[in-house]
Amino acid sequence: MAFTGSAAQAALAVGAATPDFTTEAARAGVAFKFSLMESLKKGPVVLYFYPKAFTSGCTVEAHNFAEATPKFEALGATVVGISNDDIETLKKFSVEACRDKFAVAADKGARIMKQYDAALWMKPDMADRISYVISPEGKVLYVYASLSPDQHVENTLKAVQIWRASVAK
């Protein structure tokens, strides 16, 4: 199964191996260590990069992911957002914008953004708005890049549904 969003511009192509990482994250205001490898043991991961917590587009996107999180969870998928915001900001964002539904991770130094080619070209220390669906085997199943937050949730949910249907066969 290989598919990509029409707006995809990220360097990690469908089928590419994804870099593993562990970083600080927050869910429901509580900090913890997020490990991509550990999350993939449970199922696919929707890893979405966003520019900055508490900005209008990023708040809309977080609300949309929060509303859809039960659907992702029903399909066995984990949602995690990532930006270069500090962990204290992300603790608040995880409560207010993410509504305690999913984790947001800190990318201090933009290390993970660079590995995923998700840095904003004009501001390389800030994330572009790029969503990846990663298979439990650590491969890119789907990628969608658009500064508009509007289609990220819908597109990644559809990708996870297609993945789920393909493994159910």
Of 26, 25, 5, 3, whose CA–CA distance to 15 is shortest?
A: 3
Q: Collapsing DSSP states into helix, strand and coil, what is residue 104?
A: strand
- Please report, in tens digits, the pLDDT of each residue of the chain (169 residues total): 444 443 445 569 999 999 999 999 999 999 999 999 999 999 999 999 999 999 999 999 999 999 999 999 999 999 999 999 999 999 999 999 999 999 999 999 999 999 999 998 888 889 999 999 999 999 999 999 998 999 999 999 999 999 999 988 7
- Alpha-carbon distance of 101 to 33, in angstroms, equals 17
- Alpha-carbon distance of 6 to 154, in angstroms, equals 13
Task: State the virtual CA torsion across 30, 34, 40, 43 in degrees, nearest 10.
Answer: 10
pTM confidence score: 0.92
Of 132, 159, 161, 148, whose CA–CA distance to 12 is shortest?
A: 132
